[in-house]
Amino acid sequence: MTHIIEARNVSVTFGSGATKVEAVKNVSLTLAEGEPLGIVGESGSGKSTLARVLAGLQPPTSGEVLFNGKPIYKGNKSYVGDERHLVQMVFQDPYASLNPQLTALSAVAEAVRIHDKCDRKSAEAKALELLKSMGIASMDAAKKPRQLSGGQRQRVSVARALSANPSVLLADEPTSAIDQSAQAQLLNLFRGLLNQGLAIVLVSHDLGVIRYLTKRVYVMKDGVFVESGDTETIFNDPQQAYTKELLASIPGTLGVAARKKLQG
């Protein structure tokens, strides 16, 4: 299996002296082509920082990240050459990541125009198609973010990320700000993208979503991976106390089983 992304001994440190924060400590990870991968942890565990490192947005303090075998960071620059667009990110709050003055269509069309270097007309045609594949009808495509529902906004951000034809999609808590039914819709779309061969890194604290979508998972706490492996195995037989606690906190059926195990 070829690794599309490989992180080797990555550490990220913010600040210095008394305010020094070690967000990520000596972490190594691999992502195979077309693989659905999960990174799970609580706020402050460093999972978002790690995602930003993988996306090329945050140079690591030490260690290296390889994309298709080539290091992506050269000094403060990342993804040199034409590979930059192959890793795209979807952020937690779709309202904050979309320009409030642009309609859904122009937000996506602008991204298409930059990536495809085409004229506005063909960019809009492609954007409309992308939005349609994300379940946004042309009527809704003419709306601005504030006129769209949370779920629709998040699907517009995914459409915008897809405009670059990426091979990896990094999604940082994509479902935490939306309704249950909108979440189901988004996850169905993600599943469709996986079938088309896109690799998805899902960063989340929602273990239900992780279990549903990913095959392999890294459990992160205080900047390090405490446990990693096959998602199903970890759900059925967690080894670390922290993982057990996380599982027991899931509301509903999944948590009930984990709680029984924890007590029994």
Partner 1 sequence: MTNTTKKLLQVTDLQIGIPHPRRETLVIVNKASFDVGYGEMVGIVGESGSGKTMVCRSMIGTLERRGAKVLAGQVLFEDQDLAHASETTWKKLRGKAIGYVPQSALAGPNPVLTIGAQLSEALKKSDTKGTIAEQSKALLELVKIRRIDTVMKQYPNQLSGGMRQRVMIACALASNPKLLIADEPTTGLDVTVQAQIMVLLKEIRNEFGTAIILISHDLALIDDVCDRVVVMHAGATVEVGSVSEMTTPRHPYTVALNQSRIDIAVPGSELVTILGNAPSVGQWPTGCRFAGRCTIVQSDCTSGDHPPLFGDRGAHQSACLHADLLKGR
**Pairing between strand 216-221 and 199-204?**
unpaired
* Minimum gap (Å) between residue 147 Cβ and partner 1: 10
Q: Which is nearer to partner 1, 5 or 246 (CB)?
A: 246
Using the minimum distance from each CB to partner 1, give the nearer residue, 81 or 251: 251
What residues numbered 21-50 form the site for partner 1, per CB under 8 A? 42-43
The only residue of 16, 19, 180, 263 in contact with partner 1, by rule CB under 8 A? 180
Site track for partner 1 across 157-176, x = CB under 8 A: -------------------x
Question: What's the rounded Cα separation, in Å, for the pair 164 and 137?
Answer: 21
CB 217, min distance to partner 1, A: 12
Nearer of residues 114 and 256 to partner 1, judged by Cβ? 256
The strand order across the sheet containing 87-90 reads 87-90, 168-172, 199-204, 36-40, 216-221, 224-230
Among 17, 69, 197, 251, binds partner 1 (CB under 8 A): 251
Is-contact 202 174, C-beta < 8 A?
Answer: yes
Q: What is the footprint of partner 1 within residues 127-156 (CB under 8 A)?
A: 149-150
Burial of 32 per CB tally in 10 Å (0-12, 13-18, 19+): middle
Cβ proximity to partner 1: between 114 and 137 the closer is 137
Enumerate residues 6+ apart whose C-beta is below 8 A from 14. 20, 21, 23
Task: By CB under 8 A, name the one of 26, 68, 133, 249 that touches partner 1.
Answer: 249
Q: Is 262 left (phi over 0), alpha (psi -120 to 50) or beta?
A: alpha
CA–CA gap between residue 7 and residue 224 (Å, rounded)? 13
Longest dimension (CA), the chain: 64
**Nearest residue (CB) to partner 1, 76 versus 195:** 195
Of positions 5, 7, 134, 248, contacts partner 1 by CB under 8 A: 248
Q: Please identify which residue in 19, 76, 196, 253 interacts with partner 1, judged by CB under 8 A.
A: 253
Q: In the chain, helix, strand, coil percent, each to 5?
A: 45, 25, 30
Contact positions with partner 1 (CB under 8 A) in 193-222 = 205-209, 211-213
Footprint of partner 1 (CB under 8 A): 42-43, 149-150, 176, 179-185, 187-188, 191, 205-209, 211-213, 231-232, 245-246, 248-256
